[in-house]
């Protein structure tokens, strides 16, 4: 069985708690989705500036539970919040917690993260901002640039966002071609 690549996202509904979503693929472009999952947490830690991972990690652990052979995790956010690595972001905490390479794909600029590499996809004027740990950032940038979908957001990132927000339901054992 080949290794799996994962894209994750977490949403915090106004009613409270968290909803984490996961999309799995055997290829890094996410041309073919093999599974989609959602996990609901009734309670989450309060938001603390600079410690966002305390809210996100429990939800990510829940949605990743039972997933084996995972070789890469893509998260919504930054790996490190500053170029020197002294302020770890969600991606760095995921790397430590799950022991695998992590790519952070941020949709908005965080001023201190001057090391994030811009990736422009499709005809988009606004870039995605890519950081990485456990693999070279050049490889991470190439992977994000080549992910399926013609628009700024790769299809898998757009889909996992919709799942996390409850705008769609997961297709279990998806086997869905996205290409």
Q: Which of 1-15, 74-88, 127-141 has the highest mean pLDDT?
A: 127-141
Do 20 and 63 form a contact (C-beta atoms < 8 A)?
yes
Do 135 and 141 form a contact (C-beta atoms < 8 A)?
no
Confidence check: pLDDT of 178 > 50: no
Do 22 and 34 form a contact (C-beta atoms < 8 A)?
no
Do 164 and 19 form a contact (C-beta atoms < 8 A)?
yes
Cα angle 107, 109, 112; round to 5: 140
Question: At residue 60, what are phi and psi to the nearest 5 degrees?
Answer: -65, -40
State the average pLDDT over residues 30-52: 87
DSSP string, 39-95: EEES--PPP-TT-THHHHHHHHHHHHTT--SEEEEEEES-SBSSTTSSSB-HHHHHH
**Tokens, residue 106:** 């941020």
CATH topology of domain 4-167: archaeoglobus fulgidus dsm 4304 fold (3.30.2170)
DSSP string, 128-163: EEEEEESS-HHHHHHHHHHSS-SSSS-HHHHHHHHH
The domain spans of the chain are 4-167
State the average pLDDT over residues 117-136: 97
**Tokens, residue 79:** 């790996």
85-111 pLDDT tens trace: 889 999 999 999 999 999 999 999 999
């Amino acid at each position: 069985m080949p290794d799996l690549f994962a894209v994750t996202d977490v949403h915090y509904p106004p009613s409270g708690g968290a909803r984490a979503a996961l999309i799995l693929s055997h290829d890094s472009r996410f041309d073919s989705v093999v599974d989609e999952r959602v996990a609901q947490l009734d309670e989450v830690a309060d938001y603390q500036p600079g410690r966002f991972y305390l809210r996100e990690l429990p939800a990510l652990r829940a949605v990743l539970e039972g997933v084996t052979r995972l070789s890469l995790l893509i998260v919504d956010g930054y790996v490190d919040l500053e170029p020197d690595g002294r302020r770890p972001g969600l991606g760095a905490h995921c790397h430590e917690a799950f022991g695998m390479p992590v790519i952070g794909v941020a949709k908005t600029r965080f001023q201190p993260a001057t090391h994030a590499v811009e990736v422009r996809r499709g005809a988009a004027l606004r870039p995605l901002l890519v950081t990485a740990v456990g693999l070279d950032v050049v490889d991470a940038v190439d992977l994000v640039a080549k992910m399926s979908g013609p628009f700024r957001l790769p299809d898998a990132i757009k889909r996992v966002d919709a799942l996390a927000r409850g705008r769609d339901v997961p297709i279990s054992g998806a086997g869905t071609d996205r290409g």
